[in-house]
């Protein structure tokens, strides 16, 4: 069996990228964010083809890289919005070309707009604290 240059493994509730070209394992979420959630940029960094990356990803996670990145991006977006960051700021931080594109994807994923999510989350926290 051929040794893999790159593997994605699940440890302690997180996905890690193991690469013979990197000295230390890296959190997949950190790598994805640093590469702007771009499969092509991640592949460049790991020095593997997109086809090989999709294969490694499916073996390690069981889904397509783009679908996982979409989910990870939305979970990160929710956390950033809860911190009180503006929608525009969150969109830029997560590599969206425009806040409208981010809002449309957020709404499609959570079935609520980012603005409504922030208002609802803020009012919930105020009631819980009071």
Over residues 30-41, the pLDDT tens digits come to 999 999 899 999
* Torsion (CA) 79, 84, 89, 95 in degrees, nearest 10: 0
Q: Which residues pair with 17 in a beta bridge?
A: 8, 26
Q: At what angle do helices 39-46 and 65-82 cross, to 10 degrees?
A: 110
CA triplet 44, 37, 46: central angle to 5 degrees? 25
Averaged pLDDT for residues 72-86: 94
pLDDT of 130 reads 54
Question: Any bridge partners for residue 9, and if so which?
Answer: 16
Model pTM? 0.80
Q: For the chain, percent helix, then strand, then coil, each to nearest 5?
A: 60, 10, 30
Distance CA 30, CA 48 (A): 18
What average pLDDT does the structure give for the chain? 88
Report whether pLDDT(3) > 90. no
pLDDT of res. 1: 36
Residues 6+ apart with CB under 8 A from 76: 29, 33, 94
């Amino acid at each position: 069996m051929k040794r893999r240059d790159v593997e994605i493994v699940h440890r302690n509730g997180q996905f890690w990228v193991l690469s013979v070209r990197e000295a230390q394992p890296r959190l997949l979420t950190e790598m994805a964010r640093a590469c702007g959630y771009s499969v092509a940029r991640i592949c460049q960094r790991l020095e593997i083809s997109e086809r090989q990356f999709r294969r490694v990803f499916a073996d390690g996670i069981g889904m397509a890289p783009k679908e996982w990145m979409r989910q990870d991006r939305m979970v990160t977006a929710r956390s950033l919005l809860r911190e009180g960051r503006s929608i525009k700021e969150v969109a830029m931080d997560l590599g969206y070309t425009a806040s409208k594109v981010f809002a449309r994807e957020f709404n499609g994923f959570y079935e609520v707009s980012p603005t409504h999510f922030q208002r609802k989350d803020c009012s919930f926290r105020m009631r819980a604290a009071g």
